[in-house]
């Protein structure tokens, strides 16, 4: 179970009691979800019974990624839901290409004609577009070079385009003219706000924006995105997974 929030010394007690509560559901054969800072009891969790999704997930997930299954299920649903809109697919913050890999395989994106643009510095958060606190906490995770691995992972996919650079600066050099799906996953409110502002005029009605960290209190994404969205007459829906989902409904 991956949980955080209370002081470290209280977490042990929390996980212990939570484990005891979860055991009651287990013993009674009632479905539950406990991971990624989410506890949900007696729900369907239909995504976890989709065998094709599970196979794509298992192919791309790392050893600690199981708790992200609900988030990735939302992500592939959001991409699928954007198919009604004209345009390419964009991810700002691709890291090792885990989410994108699952989506490309599960949705067979390579058989279609949309290009999936995967943007990343491949070196962690950029100093100009993130807080010092976020960089101090997160950049150690991005210290081992991963660009080559991502290139290898997608080498056989014709419709994946890997773009190395700082968002938003790189967008003036490489960016699709129309975007049906925009995923914001840079753990940096400033960079995500700039990306949303840049792409918004390129997203047609019916296009979808998904923010991976919208509702998570450990990141500074919520204020940056929600305030901007109100300026264009839209609002993100905060999901239990911590993600924020927005459909463009009007220009």
Ligand X SMILES: C[S@@+](CC[C@H](N)C(=O)[O-])C[C@H]1O[C@@H](n2cnc3c(N)ncnc32)[C@H](O)[C@@H]1O
Instruction: Check binding of 220 to ligand X (CB under 6 A).
Output: no
Instruction: Check binding of 154 to ligand X (CB under 6 A).
Output: no
Q: How many whole angstroms separate alpha carbon 210 and alpha carbon 187?
A: 13
**Are the beta carbons of 69 and 56 closer than 8 angstroms?**
no
**What minimum distance in Å lies between the beta carbon of 240 and ligand X?**
19
Sign of CA dihedral 71, 165, 126, 137: positive
Instruction: Check binding of 222 to ligand X (CB under 6 A).
Output: no
Q: How many whole angstroms separate alpha carbon 176 and alpha carbon 203?
A: 10
Rg for the chain (alpha carbons), in Å?
A: 18
Instruction: Kindly indicate which of the ranges 12-20, 82-90, 115-123, 227-235 contains the residues binding ligand X, using the contact rule CB under 6 A.
Output: 115-123
**What minimum distance in Å lies between the beta carbon of 119 and ligand X?**
6
From residue 248, how far is each of 228, 234, 235, 251 by CA, in Å? 14, 7, 9, 8
Instruction: Check binding of 142 to ligand X (CB under 6 A).
Output: yes
Instruction: Kindly indicate which of the ranges 10-18, 116-124, 152-160, 238-246 contains the residues binding ligand X, using the contact rule CB under 6 A.
Output: 116-124
Candidates 33, 70, 99, 117; binder of ligand X (CB under 6 A) is 99
Residue 25 or 147: which CB sits closer to ligand X?
A: 147
Residue 85 or 100: which CB sits closer to ligand X?
A: 100
Q: How many whole angstroms separate alpha carbon 77 and alpha carbon 169?
A: 29
Residues touching ligand X, count (CB under 6 A): 23
Q: How many whole angstroms separate alpha carbon 2 and alpha carbon 8?
A: 13
Please tell me what DSSP assigns to residue 7: -
Instruction: Kindly indicate which of the ranges 32-40, 76-84, 92-100, 174-182 contains the residues binding ligand X, using the contact rule CB under 6 A.
Output: 92-100
Residue 149 or 249: which CB sits closer to ligand X?
A: 149
Instruction: Check binding of 105 to ligand X (CB under 6 A).
Output: no
Instruction: Kindly indicate which of the ranges 40-48, 113-121, 149-157, 224-232 contains the residues binding ligand X, using the contact rule CB under 6 A.
Output: 113-121
Q: What is the signed CA dihedral for 2, 100, 237, 181, rounded to 10 degrees?
A: 170
**According to CB under 6 A, which residues from 170 to 189 bind ligand X?**
185-188
Q: Which helix (H) or strand (E) holds 17?
A: helix 8-27
Instruction: Check binding of 124 to ligand X (CB under 6 A).
Output: yes
Candidates 82, 167, 225, 229; binder of ligand X (CB under 6 A) is 167
Instruction: Kindly indicate which of the ranges 16-24, 94-102, 230-238, 240-248 contains the residues binding ligand X, using the contact rule CB under 6 A.
Output: 94-102
Q: Which helix (H) or strand (E) holds 162?
A: strand 160-164
From residue 133, how far is each of 92, 109, 125 by CA, in Å? 20, 36, 11
Instruction: Check binding of 95 to ligand X (CB under 6 A).
Output: yes
Q: Which residues of the chain form contacts with ligand X (CB under 6 A)?
A: 93-96, 98-100, 119-121, 124-126, 129-130, 142, 166-167, 185-188, 191
């Amino acid at each position: 179970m991956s949980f955080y929030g209370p002081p470290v010394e209280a977490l042990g007690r929390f996980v212990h009691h939570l484990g005891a509560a979860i055991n009651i559901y287990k013993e009674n054969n009632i479905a539950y979800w406990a991971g990624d800072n989410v506890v949900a009891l007696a729900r369907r969790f239909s995504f976890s019974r989709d065998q094709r999704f599970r196979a794509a997930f298992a192919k791309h997930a790392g050893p600690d990624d199981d708790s992200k299954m609900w988030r990735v299920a939302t992500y592939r649903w959001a991409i699928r839901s954007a198919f009604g809109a004209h345009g390419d697919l964009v991810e700002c913050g691709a890291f090792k290409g885990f989410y994108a890999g699952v989506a490309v395989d599960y949705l067979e994106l390579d058989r279609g004609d949309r290009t999936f643009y995967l943007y990343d510095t491949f070196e962690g958060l950029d100093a100009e577009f993130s807080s010092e606190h976020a960089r101090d906490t997160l950049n150690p995770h991005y210290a081992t070079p991963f660009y080559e691995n991502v290139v290898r992972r997608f080498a056989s996919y014709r419709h994946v385009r890997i773009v190395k650079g700082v968002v938003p600066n790189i967008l003036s050099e490489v960016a699709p003219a129309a975007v049906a799906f925009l995923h914001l996953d840079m753990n940096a409110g400033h960079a995500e706000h700039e990306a949303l502002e840049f792409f918004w005029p390129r997203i047609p009605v019916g296009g979808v924006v998904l923010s991976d960290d919208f509702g998570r209190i450990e990141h500074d994404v919520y204020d940056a995105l929600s305030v901007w969205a109100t300026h264009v007459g839209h609002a993100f829906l905060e999901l239990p997974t911590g993600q924020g989902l927005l459909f463009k409904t009007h220009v």
